[in-house]
Homo-oligomer: A and B are copies of this chain.
């Protein structure tokens, strides 16, 4: 199973990168094929919404192959970063009938919970399946050691719960999608 981890902010000094890398390692430990897809490498401007540019095509290739995806995104003013929305809006068909797990990140104690909610509503429009489990990385500036290790071990278990649900849905939906392809 291939499950990319999308890092949703391109800001200088972004803290979410640490959370995304932590999630990535947990996916690898679980034996999933994965990779970090950094929105910095996919700064898809408003002109790329037709999905015809090189960047949009590269992003489409990844999503076409994906069995599901995880977004790790900070919350800026109770919602997601603009560059993440531009990237997401570039595709449509490629998301269809795949599960999405969302991890929020914030400097404060609420772990990006509002951004998670707004992203869930966007993902429904893409025919993605927003799963219930989520991980809320709060107090992000103090959450990691210098060497990138997480200070609060409880997060491993939270990512595991997210993964369990994500994989459950990925299997269920893949089986059904493949039935359809056989019919065609």
Contact = CB atoms under 8 A, between A and B. Distances in A.
Interface of A: 9-12, 43, 45-47, 49-50, 76-89, 97, 109-111, 113-114, 117-118, 120-122, 124-127, 129-132, 136, 138, 165, 168, 171-173, 175-176
B79 A122 contact: yes
B136 A132 contact: no
Contact of A46 (B81, B89, B129): B81
Lowest 4 CB-CB distances: which A-B pairs, in order?
A82-B86, A82-B85, A172-B176, A82-B82
Contact of A110 (B47, B50, B88, B136): B136
A112 to B, nearest CB: 10
A120 B122 contact: no
B110 A121 contact: no
Given A121-B78, A172-B176, A129 B129 contact: yes
A178 B165 CA distance: 16
A82 B124 CA distance: 18
Contacts of A114: 113-114, 117, 121
Contacts of A86: 81-83
